[in-house]
């Protein structure tokens, strides 16, 4: 076995030993960590299967040419608007946005558009905006979007162009 794999297994096992010992000894902080882990895991298990099914359907149903035309190298500013709309409707936060971003990339979307999608998924999801507006006001939410979105787009274009010039390619990883 590789050294990194052994280290990961030891850390994973150590985490669960910590949770069991915390539960047995009544260590409140460890018990709270365990409850948070269970809560997060059940939330993830409720969202991820459906999202992966939708990503799989996207891979099969949406043609590469369609993505390239609207989000690829030949796309104009409308590509950024499309991904902002897509990002604002993404359910599940960034842990669902990354698989969608990879699916877009594999279908031919350019890097700057993908970075914009990830930024939009992080900062302007509609449910989050409604929650924010109810507590901080609509004016605050609108100002935050008007400041954040242009900065996300500009940063995405700069980073995308830089990485494209350097010949960067996204890999699926291991």
- pLDDT, tens digit, 9 for 90 and up, residues 74-99: 888 899 999 999 999 887 777 788 88
Residue that has been written with the tokens 């291991």 in this structure? 174
Give the residue extent of every domain in the chain: 1-48, 62-174
- Its pTM stands at 0.77
Q: How far apart are CA 120 and CA 169, in angstroms?
A: 22
Compute the residue count for the chain. 174
List the structure tokens of 165.
């010039």
Q: Which of the residues in the chain have pLDDT under 50?
A: none
């Amino acid at each position: 076995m590789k050294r990194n794999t052994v280290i990961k297994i030891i850390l994973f096992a150590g985490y669960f030993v910590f949770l069991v010992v915390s539960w047995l000894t009544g260590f409140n902080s460890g018990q709270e960590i365990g409850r948070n882990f269970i809560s997060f895991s059940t939330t993830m298990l409720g969202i991820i299967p459906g999202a992966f099914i939708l990503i799989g359907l996207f891979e099969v149903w949406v043609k590469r040419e369609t993505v390239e035309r609207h989000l690829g190298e030949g796309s104009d500013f409308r590509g950024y608007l499309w991904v902002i709309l897509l990002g604002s409707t993404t359910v599940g936060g960034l842990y669902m946005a990354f698989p969608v971003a990879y699916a877009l990339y594999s279908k031919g979307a350019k890097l700057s558009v993908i970075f914009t999608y990830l930024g939009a998924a992080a900062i302007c999801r509609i449910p989050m905006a409604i929650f924010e507006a109810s507590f901080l006001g609509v004016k605050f939410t609108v100002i935050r979007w008007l400041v954040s979105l242009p900065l996300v787009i500009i940063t995405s274009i700069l980073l995308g162009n830089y990485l494209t010039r350097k010949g960067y390619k996204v890999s699926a990883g291991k």
